[in-house]
Amino acid sequence: MQIMKPTKPKILDVGQCDLDHGNISHMLQTSQSAEVDRAHNLSDAIKAIREHDYNLVLVNRIFDEDGQEGLALIRQVKDPAFGKEVTIMLVSNYIDAQDAAVEIGAVRGFGKSALDDKDTIAWLRQSIA
């Protein structure tokens, strides 16, 4: 009987600036032992989600590269026509933005100000399980 090693959680981080992506990636790698991929815009994110199986997709409220709203990605991915079940979470300090994301199918996310908070780390662990 072959024993399977647990695989690292795979997370896609979408729309963050370099600084925020670095901080988020570092937190995910150290607290969750996660492998973190990056997408800068909607089309790159859709391509990555279609090509890979992610435990979680983190979406910035406003994409750094082109100013597009992260809710547009959430709407597209959570539409049944997308054809793939994806756990997706908004990264935003704004409660109204979090509420809007949850309303269209995302799980409640976190703000960058709570990035290193123990509750955020626990919530992420639960969300990628």
For position 7, what pLDDT does the model report?
A: 82
* DSSP per-residue codes, 56-92: EEEEESB-TTT--BHHHHHHHHHSGGG-S---EEEE-
State how far the Cα of 33 lies from the Cα of 54, in Å rounded to an integer: 14
Asked whether the beta carbons of 89 and 126 are under 8 A apart, the reply is no
Band (pLDDT 50/70/90 cuts) for residue 6 is: low
Is 70 exceeded by the pLDDT of residue 5?
A: no
pTM: 0.93
Is 70 exceeded by the pLDDT of residue 114?
A: yes
Is 70 exceeded by the pLDDT of residue 1?
A: no
The DSSP bridge partners found for residue 59 are 14, 90
Q: Mean pLDDT of all residues in the chain?
A: 94
Name the strand (E) or helix (H) holding 53: none
Average pLDDT over residues 69-96: 96
State how far the Cα of 129 lies from the Cα of 127, in Å rounded to an integer: 6
Average pLDDT over residues 17-38: 96
The domain locations on the chain are 31-86+106-129
Residue 54 contacts by C-beta under 8 Å, 6 or more apart in sequence? 10, 11, 12, 37, 48, 86, 87
